[in-house]
Amino acid sequence: MLSIKNLTASINGTPVLKGIDLEIRAGEIHAIMGPNGSGKSTLGKVLAGHPSYEVTGGEVLFEGKNLFEMEADARARAGIFMGFQHPIEVPGVSNASFLRLAYNKKAEAEGRDELDPLEFDDFIHGKIKVVAMRSEFLDRSLNEGFSGGEKKRNEILQMAVLEPKLAILDELDSGLDIDALRVLGDAVNTLQRADRALLIITHFPRILEIIQPQFVHVLSGGRILKSSGKELALELEERGYDWVLAEAAAGGAR
Amino acid sequence: MTSAVASNLLSDLLSGPRPAEWEKLREEAEARLARRDLPTTSDEDWKYTDLKALAGITFGPAPKATVDISGHLLPEMVGTRQVFVNGHHAPHASCASAVAAGVRFLPLSTASEACHALGMVGPTHNQSPFEDLNTARFEDGAVLLVPKNMKVALPLHLLFITKAETPIAVFPRLMVVLERGAELELVEEHHGKGTYLTCPVVEIRLAEGAILHHERVQRDSDEAFHLGTLKAEVAKGGQYHSRTLSFGARLSRQQPWVRLAEGAEATLDGLALLDGAQVADTHSFMLHAEPHASSHQLHKCIVDGHARAIFNGQVLVAPKAQGTDAKQQSRNLLLSETARVDTKPQLEIYADDVKCSHGATVGALDPEELFYLQSRGLNADDARNLLTYGFAADVLTHIPVASLRRTLRQLVMARTQAASLGDFA
Ligand SMILES: Nc1ncnc2c1ncn2[C@@H]1O[C@H](COP(=O)(O)OP(=O)(O)O)[C@@H](O)[C@H]1O
Ligand SMILES: [Mg+2]
């Protein structure tokens, strides 16, 4: 589904991603872990099409198509979803209207029927149950005045509405208490299917106990230093990141 | 319909302390006008608002006229509207049942004794020559009285319509008095066609614990000049919440002045949507005269074309006004290279135990916000239009009258090209 080859990217002239290779197939769950500042969010934003990042080399194919020939919105309509580490507040636009708009833009792109406000109301009330959101959050302005946890809940609600093929979730657990993490983790699990894939970005392993990846990659200094099965997450929880860095340094010296 | 309560109210009002006799006020205003010319851009207060175009037009007196108001009715207020055409009260278009029992609505042309209630609010710190012009020249208007503890259920709709076949000048005059503990929602709308000058003056007196919600909608014609004055005195524990929404006029200026007594609250929000060569100026003055009052100002402008927005927000905290809580935000969105915004907060604080904050931003849309919307599948144009709409609609969110909120959202949607996104209102 997603094929990343030797991807390099920089921001304001500073290289951040220094040669990333990653293959994600349908049905898979991958986790990218790594210390703060290692380039995890950058990878997510480059994949989602943030205009501030400059792709300086390499290639990314999404379902065989060159991702870098699509603008951010085209990528979204093609089925890529990014759950943000810091979701943006948009005053004056109600959450429900925004969700309906996003849903209908995607439906239009896929040649499906758009939903009118009444139909959407039914639809969205089914979805908010999945993320245990109270319906008054639908009438409030998009993310405005939401707590960190409420914003994350809203990100997963958007994911449930848009049903992406590939969801990239950046630090879903930050700002969430353990109960909310359980609810949202379970919601993400229910959305996962054989024709969808997940890329979980996190520097805390605890979320990976709920959303269990088949593959764990350690990113540091803009490179993937180690890739392994889900047992790597446990090892990182026990031993931290330093040993991976040391191992990689030794490997590099060899 | 004469209610004993209300007649007493009026006589109480007229027997209250007065700055001067009414006729004298009128003469004084006339005398001041005779001594001064129109302000020019060399007056500090009018630095960015050039009245040359106004000076070049001769405005005649405003004739009485009839209008079709069917396009302006709001369902919550079909039975509670009072209409003024070219500054004259228009009984044919107003509603006889407009006023709840006990509330007095006194058109100045027919209840001339009510004139003696005018001029009671102030003196203000930001007096405009256009207030004097109104005081010297107005022919009609109204005094609205809500008696003690009356909570008026339906919002009251005041519609000021100007129909100018040749250039005319109109001077709407309004005084709103809420007695102790009274509550009212007031919608004041200005519409018009043709070239005209309108100089409305609105005086507001809120007695202890009275609450007024005041929505002000300026949709004057594209050739109009709107130079308005608002003066509000809020007694102990009273609340004045107003929102001024400016859409029309080639040149408009709002001069709100609010004086807060102990524990009073005020909201003075504003929105201006400007395009072409429009100029919209707001010079506000918030006077924290006594302790523990709070004020909140959010002023937003969206400026496109080579339009120009001016905001000057003065806040004065008097030495004895301890425990003051004053917030002021001026937020401006520039949609073109040639649009211009001049914004200036002016805080004068003479008390030491106060919480005062102010902030001003001028700029284009935030790229992070645009990216967020695009990452959800909206194309760049849709994302821009939605954010622009949201920037403005933010000010409309808390309008209590549902149909007005909806009408204004649709208007904003049309003006921000967000209509293509479907119905958001
Ligand atoms: N706008 C920016 N300008 C300059 N450097 C940036 C910018 N955004 C991120 N970086 C740098 O890129 C590196 C990676 O950041 P990020 O991808 O956010 O890391 P992570 O998500 O792994 O914590 C950091 O060193 C950070 O300082
Ligand atoms: Mg990050």
Whether A67 has a pLDDT exceeding 50, the answer reads yes
ipTM of the complex: 0.95
Render pLDDT for B166-206 as a digit per residue (tens, 0 to 9): 999 999 999 999 999 999 999 999 999 999 999 999 999 99
Longest Cα–Cα distance of chain B, Å, equals 66
Q: Which of B210, B240, B261 is the last residue of a domain?
A: B261
> Which residue segments constitute the domains of chain A, with CATH numbers given?
2-253 (3.40.50.300)
Q: Which of B331, B422, B360 is nearest to B385 (CA)?
A: B422
- Please give the DSSP secondary-structure letter assigned to residue B165: S
Task: Read off the pLDDT band of A137 (50, 70, 90).
Answer: very high
Judged by CB atoms closer than 8 Å, whether chains meet at A73 and B371 is answered as no
pTM score of the predicted model:
0.91
Tens of pLDDT along chain B (425 residues) come to 333 444 455 666 666 555 557 788 889 999 999 898 889 999 999 999 999 999 889 999 999 988 888 888 888 777 788 999 999 999 888 886 656 778 889 998 887 788 888 888 888 887 899 999 999 999 899 999 999 999 998 899 999 999 999 999 999 999 999 999 999 999 999 999 999 999 999 999 999 999 999 999 999 999 999 999 999 999 999 999 999 999 999 999 999 999 999 999 999 999 999 999 999 999 999 999 999 999 999 999 999 999 999 999 999 999 999 999 999 999 999 999 999 999 999 999 999 999 999 999 999 999 999 999 999 999 999 999 999 999 999 999 889 999 999 999 999 988 888 777 776 65
Q: Where in B133-180 does DSSP place strands (E)?
A: 142-146, 156-163, 168-170, 173-178
Decide: B124 and B231 in contact? Cβ < 8 Å: yes
DSSP-derived secondary structure letter, B12:
H
Residue B356 falls within a domain, yes or no? Answer: no
Identify the domain boundary among B241, B261, B281.
Answer: B261
Same domain, B53 and B198: yes
Residues in CB range of A187: below 8 A, 6 or more apart:
A130, A131, A156, A160
The dihedral sign for the CA sequence A105, A108, A109, A112? positive
* Residues B66 and B91: beta-carbon distance below 8 Å: no
| Cα–Cα nearest to A151, from A143, A161, A159, A160 | A143
At residue B98, the pLDDT reads 57
Which residues of B have a CB under 8 Å from any CB of A?
Answer: 366-369, 371-380, 382-383, 386-387, 389-397, 421-424
Among the three residues B261, B293, B314, which one is the final residue of a domain in this structure? Answer: B261
Encoded tokens for B355: 């919480």
- pLDDT tens-digit series, residues B113-151: 888 888 888 888 878 999 999 999 998 999 999 999 999
Asked if residue B70 is part of any domain, the answer here is: yes
CB of A91 within 8 Å of a chain B CB? The answer is: yes
Determine if ligand 1 sits within 6 Å of the CB of residue A40. Answer: yes
**Residue A152 CA to ligand 2 centre (angstroms):** 14
**Per-residue model confidence (pLDDT) at position B154:** 87
Q: Is residue B333 part of a domain?
A: no
Q: Are residues B255 and B399 in the same domain?
A: no
Residue B9 has what pLDDT?
57
Question: B336 CB contacts (<8 Å, ≥6 apart)?
Answer: B303, B304, B305, B306
Radius of gyration of chain A, Cα coordinates, nearest whole angstrom: 18
- Surface of A (123-152) touching B: CB under 8 A: 141-142
Does residue B331 lie in a domain region? no
Which residue among B368, B377, B389 places its CB closest to the CB of A106?
Answer: B377
Q: Residue B374 to residues A101, A104, B113, B202, B368: CA-CA distances in angstroms?
A: 12, 14, 62, 45, 10
Assigned domain for B315 exists:
no
Residue A71 at interface with chain B, using a CB cutoff of 8 Å: yes
In a domain, B284, yes or no: no
Residues of B in contact with A52 (CB under 8 A): 367
A90·B421 Cβ contact <8 A = no
Residue B272: which of B255, B295, B256, B249 has the closest Cα? B249
Question: Which residue's alpha carbon is nearest to atom 26 within ligand 1?
Answer: A37
**Sheet order of strands, B294-303 included:** B88-89, B81-85, B156-163, B183-193, B211-219, B239-246, B265-274, B294-303, B325-334, B355-363
Residues B400 and B251 in one domain: no
Q: Does the beta carbon of A37 sit less than 6 angstroms from any atom of ligand 1?
A: yes
**Backbone phi, psi, residue A19, to 5°:** 110, 80
User: Domain residues for B64?
Assistant: 3-261
Residue A51 forms contact with B (CB below 8 Å): yes
Helix (H, G, I), strand (E, B) or coil at B356: strand
B373 and B240 fall within a common domain: no
Question: What mean pLDDT comes out for the span A156-160?
Answer: 96
Same domain, B257 and B369: no
**Which of A61-70, A103-112, A183-192, A225-234 bottoms out in mean pLDDT, i.e. has the lowest?**
A225-234
Interface test with B, best of A73, A100, A114, A119 (most B CBs within 10 A): A73
**Mutation site, B375, B384, B405, B412, interface A, largest A CB count within 10 A:** B375
Q: Answer yes or no: is B348 within a domain.
A: no
Residues of A in contact with B423 (CB under 8 A): 117
Main-chain dihedrals φ then ψ at residue A38, nearest 5 degrees? -80, -15
What's the structural domain count of chain B? 2
Classify B258 as helix, strand or coil. strand
Contacts of B424 in chain A (CB under 8 A): 93-94, 97
- pLDDT of B423: 67
User: For residue B193, is it within any domain?
Assistant: yes
Q: Whose Cα sits closest to atom 7 in ligand 1?
A: A11
- Given this model, what pLDDT does residue B7 score? 46
Express each pLDDT in B276-314 by its tens digit: 999 999 999 999 999 999 999 999 999 999 999 999 999
> Residue B386's closest chain A neighbor by CA?
A93
Residue B15 pLDDT: 64
